[in-house]
Structure formats: structure tokens, C-alpha cells
Structure 1
Amino acid sequence: MVFKENDSDFKNDSSLGFDYQGIETLQIKPDDWHSIVVILYVYGYNYLRSQSAYDVALGGLLASVYHLTRIEYGVDQPEEVCIKVFAPRSNPRISFVFWVWKSSDFQERESYDMLGISNENHPRLKRILMPESWIRWPLRKDYISPNFYKIQDAH
């Protein structure tokens, strides 16, 4: 399913089904993400395994993906959930989760640096892989490499 900015499916929080490992994937609206973070943490999802982002489709939405794990003592099989927060390409802003899961700091900064997904109120949101002077977002599907960039000889 390819979401566009004006799709009605994008407006509701819902389940996107299960992946090949049986982990449920949930779609969350950017406006609801702050509240959902609190709920997930209260219910024991105390470990952020990873955060990543991707461009859904050319001209479509951007997605920020969070893999969360619920770790309890004495449990051999931890519970996991995957959260996808879809943001409009024109203004990709979502709440940051650094205040709950400290490990999201550099991961959210990389999503900003490569795709332009801005995490509101992030304490240190700046480019970490590209120079500060870099224009635009290199991992977006509509990105065009600037003329001044040359691949250097590897020898």
C-alpha cells in the first residue's frame, strides 16, 4: 500500500499487519505519536531496538520506523512491536522520543540528516553525516545530486 499525503488511510491509527517474524506493525499519526510513546513505555516497552526512516514513494509520505521491545525479567521471548509514523513530505515533523528512549538520539538525527524528518524539540537536531552546508536530503527518492559533487578516485 502506497500512502499519499491526502489519503484517508493516513488519517487513522491502525495495524498494518504482521511481518515475517510475527511482529505487529502499527501505523501512527504524527499528532498521536507523543501520547502513544507514553502508553508504550508505561506498558513496559522499555527498549528501543532501532529507529530508521525511509521515503515511501516518489512524491508520497516519509516514514519513521521504531522497533520497540518489552523486556521483563525471566522472560525468554520478549514482546516486540514495530511502529511506523508517516509524515507528509511537505512538512515532515514528528515528536522526538529521546526523553523516553535515550538511544534514539543519533538515530533520529540520522533520519533528519538523510530524509529531512524533523523531530520536534529534539535537544541536538543537526546534521551528523553530511556537512552543515549540504542542501536537501540525500535519501529522498526525488533527490538530485548537485553538480559540484565528484566521485574521487579510490586509488
Structure 2
Amino acid sequence: MNTVDKEKFNLKTRGRLSAWLTKHNFSHRPLGYDYRGVEILEVKSEEWLSTAVALYAYGFNYLRSQCAYDATPGGSLVSVYHLTQMQDQSDQPEEICVKVFVSRTNPQIPSVYWVWKSAEFQERESYDMLGIIYQGHPYLRRILMPESWIGWPLRKDYVVPNFYELQDAY
């Protein structure tokens, strides 16, 4: 099972879901709350799949969105998951935001396609734009850019090759 370093928790940023994950020995780090009060957690790449399954079992049955971004030039890439607990007659369903940071030299994250099918196109877009490899994804290939495109256009260190400019000029 996963290990938890309980001394690293800041009690001011630790929410109910963080406490639940800690109780069940899932490794994570609370990052506080967003402007709407949604709890934000950081999970290591190697812990993400087991944590995702646990969150699904907890009731987060809907992947509202998955996106990715380049945190800093030469720094980490981040895959962000917005999960929602969809229940009958719920006016304000519970939400959580999970961030998985990976190095740009080995950007691999387990795919959650098998947990939430809606991750299929969203993970493909993150792969296409940033080059994050979602291990276990059944159809991981470019979705927006042509297959012949070189590089990952949304990385902050991306340089457009000259031949693309000539190709697009006609």
C-alpha cells in the first residue's frame, strides 16, 4: 500500500478528502483550495492510478475535465484532473482537483481511461500538445496536430521549425 508522510501536512490546507486519503494511507500533498473552495491535491505519478481508483470508490464518478500545462520553462509538466461526485438530486456536487507533476525528461503518467472513459480524448490532447505519455491508454496518438508534426507545441521551450512556417504560408 502507499506510504504517507504525515509530518508534511499543513493542517490549514488539509481538507476532508485529504484527511480521508491519509486515513486510508494514500500518498498525496494538499495544495489548498481554489477560488471556489474546491480542494486541490498533488499526487505523485506512480501513486496516481491507485489514488484515482480510491477516489472513484469514494464516489467521484465523473471526470469533469482533464488538462495539462507546462509549469515553467525547463521545469515540470502538470496533468490536472477535475473530479465530481454526481448523485441524484444534488444541487452542489462535491468536487476535487488533482494535480500530477512529472518531469519533462520522462513525462509518464498512468492513464485513467479505465476508471473514467471520458479521459480518452482529454489525455490524447494533453499528449498531443505537451508530450505527456499516458501509460495504458488504448489510443494514445495525436488528436489535433498532424501525425507528422514534430515536437509538443504548448511546451514553453517549444521552437517552431522553419518548414512549418513555409508550409502554412501557401
Please report the TM-score for the alignment, with normalisation by the length of structure 2: 0.81
Paired position in structure 2 for 1:132: 147
Give unpaired runs (5+ residues) of structure 2. 1-26
d(CA) in 1 for partners of 2:131 and 2:90?
38
Paired position in structure 1 for 2:6: none
Amino acid across the alignment from 2:154: L
* Higher RCO structure, 1 or 2 (CA under 8 Å, sep 6+): 1
Amino acid across the alignment from 1:146: P
Please report the TM-score for the alignment, with normalisation by the length of structure 1: 0.88
Amino acid across the alignment from 1:116: G
Paired position in structure 1 for 2:85: 70
For 2:120, which of 105, 113, 118 is the aligned residue? 105
- What fraction of aligned residue pairs are identical, expressed as a percent? 61
After TM superposition, the structure 1 = structure 2 runs for residues 48-67 of structure 1, keeping only pairs within 5 Å, are 48-67=63-82
After TM superposition, the structure 1 = structure 2 runs for residues 2-151 of structure 1, keeping only pairs within 5 Å, are 13-150=28-165, 151=168
How many angstroms does 1:152 deviate by? 3.7
How many angstroms does 1:141 deviate by? 0.3
d(CA) in 2 for partners of 1:106 and 1:75?
27
How many angstroms does 1:149 deviate by? 1.8
How many angstroms does 1:143 deviate by? 0.2
Determine which structure has the larger helix proportion and give its number: 2
d(CA) in 2 for partners of 1:87 and 1:16?
16
Instruction: Give secondary structure in 1 for the equivalent of 2:30.
Output: strand
Instruction: Give secondary structure in 2 for the equivalent of 1:110.
Output: helix
Q: Segments of 4+ in structure 1 off by > 6 A?
A: none
d(CA) in 2 for partners of 1:124 and 1:44?
27
Aligned alpha-carbon RMSD (Å) = 1.2
Alignment coverage as a number of residue pairs? 142
d(CA) in 1 for partners of 2:169 and 2:65?
32
Give unpaired runs (5+ residues) of structure 1. 1-11
Over residues 75-128 of structure 1, what are the superposed CA-to-partner deviations in whole Å (9 max), with x where a residue is unaligned? 211000000000111010000011111111000000000000000011000011
